[in-house]
Amino acid sequence: MSATGGTLGGSSNYFYAVSAIDGSDGESPLSFIAQARTAAGGDTSSVVVNGIGLPAAAATFNMYRGTTAHQLFRIASSQPPAVSFTDTGLPIQAILPPDPQFDHVNIYWRWELLPETAATSHSATTIGNSALQLATNQYTGATVRITRGTGAGQERPVKVNDGNTITVSSVWTPAPDATSFFVISEGSWRFGARGSASPIPISVVRANWCGAADQRPCG
C-alpha cells in the first residue's frame, strides 16, 4: 500500500477478493480475502494487491473491495490476467460477489395496465391525473405503484377509481405530491420461468385481463 496515488482513506482497513471469469462469462466463487491497512494521513492512499493467481481457463477477473470481510462490492470488471492490481480508490459498483448458495431463480411478471403518469392530484389515500378518462372502478383490484418522486417504490391495492382519481385501500407513507409519478398494474404476479443460468427465456401470453382469472371486472 502507499500513502499517495489514490483517494482511499488513511488509517483504514480494506478487504479484497478476486473472482475469475471464463470464456463464456461464467464467474467463479471468490478467492480468499486479503486485508490491507492504509497509512495514517488524508484520503490519498492506494493499495496494490499482489500475488494474483488465476486458473488456466480464466479469461479475465473481477476485483471486489469492502470495509469488512463480510460485505464486498465489485470495483473493477473484466480485468486482463495479471499478477497484481492497483486500487486507487475506485468507485464501488452496485454488484455483489457470486453467491455460492445460489441454485436457481424464479421469474414472475405482470401486465402494466396504465403507463407511467404524473400525479396532478394526490392525498394520503389517492393519486390521479386530471387528464385521465377512466371508466368508473375500471381498476378495482389492480395495483397502483408510485414509480418516481415522493413515495417512490410504494404499492397499494386499488379500492375504487373514478374518471381521473384512484383511491387506494391503505394510506401512503409518505403521501405522494406533485413530484410523484404512478402506474397501474395487474393485482397479482404471473409465473414466467425458472433457471439456473442466464439467459432464461419466458413466454408471455396476452390473456383477457378483465376476466375472472385476473380478478378484475370488465367494463
**Spatial contact of 61 and 68, defined as CB atoms under 8 Å apart:** no
pLDDT digits (tens, 9 = 90+) for 103-138: 788 999 999 999 999 999 999 999 999 999 999 999
The reply to whether 158 falls in a domain is yes
- Mean pLDDT score, 61-73: 96
**pLDDT above 70 as % of the chain:** 93
The per-residue pLDDT for 2 is: 78
Dist CA 73 CA 98 (whole Å)? 10
User: Is the pLDDT reported for residue 208 higher than 70?
Assistant: no
Q: What are phi and psi of 212, to 5 degrees?
A: -65, -30
pLDDT at 103: 77
**Measured distance CA(34)–CA(6) in Å, rounded:** 19
Statement: the pTM of the whole predicted model exceeds 0.75: no
Collapsed DSSP state (helix, strand, coil) of residue 212: helix
Residue 187 located in a structural domain: yes
**Dist CA 103 CA 64 (whole Å):** 22
In a domain, 44, yes or no: yes
pLDDT band at 215 (very low <50, low <70, confident <90, very high): very low
The whole-number average pLDDT for the span 30-39 is: 94
Greatest Cα pair distance, the chain, in angstroms, is 70
Residue 130 included in any domain: yes
- Looking at 28, 54, 87, the residue that finishes a domain is 87
Strands 105-109 and 143-148: unpaired
Model pLDDT, residue 175: 96
| pLDDT tops 80 at residue 212 | no
pLDDT band at 206 (very low <50, low <70, confident <90, very high): low
122 lies in the same domain as 219:
yes
Residues 168-191: pLDDT tens digits? 999 999 999 999 999 999 999 999
Residue 111 lies in a domain: yes
Q: Mean pLDDT: which of 24-28, 83-87, 213-217 is highest?
A: 83-87
pLDDT at 213 over 60: no
Is residue 41 in some structural domain?
yes
Residue-level pLDDT at 210: 54
Domain match, 145 and 75 both:
no
Distances in whole angstroms, Cα of residue 194 to Cα of each of 103, 206, 214 = 10, 20, 22
Q: How far apart are CA 182 and CA 168, in angstroms?
A: 13
Q: Is residue 94 part of a domain?
A: no
pLDDT band at 96; cut points 50, 70, 90: very high
What distance in Å separates the CA atoms of residue 130 and residue 2, rounded to the nearest whole number? Answer: 61
Are 56 and 157 contained in the same domain?
A: no
Q: Is residue 215 part of a domain?
A: yes
Q: Is there a contact between 119 and 190 (Cβ–Cβ < 8 Å)?
A: no
- The per-residue pLDDT for range 133-176, each reduced to its tens digit, is 999 999 999 999 999 999 999 999 999 999 999 999 999 999 99
Number of domains making up the chain = 2
Of the two residues 29 and 102, the one the predictor is more confident about is: 29
For the chain, the 3-state helix, strand and coil shares in percent, each to the nearest 5, are 0, 40, 60
User: In 95-218, which residue ranges form alpha helices assigned H by DSSP?
Assistant: none
Q: 78 is in which domain, residue-wise?
A: 13-87
Query: Which of these three, 27, 58, 87, is where a domain ends?
Result: 87
57 and 113 assigned to the same domain? no
Judgement on whether residues 77 and 125 belong to the same structural domain of the protein: no
- Kindly tell me the burial class for residue 102, based on how many C-beta atoms sit within 10 Å of its own C-beta (0-12, 13-18, 19 or more): exposed
Please give the average per-residue pLDDT across 197-219, as a whole number: 60
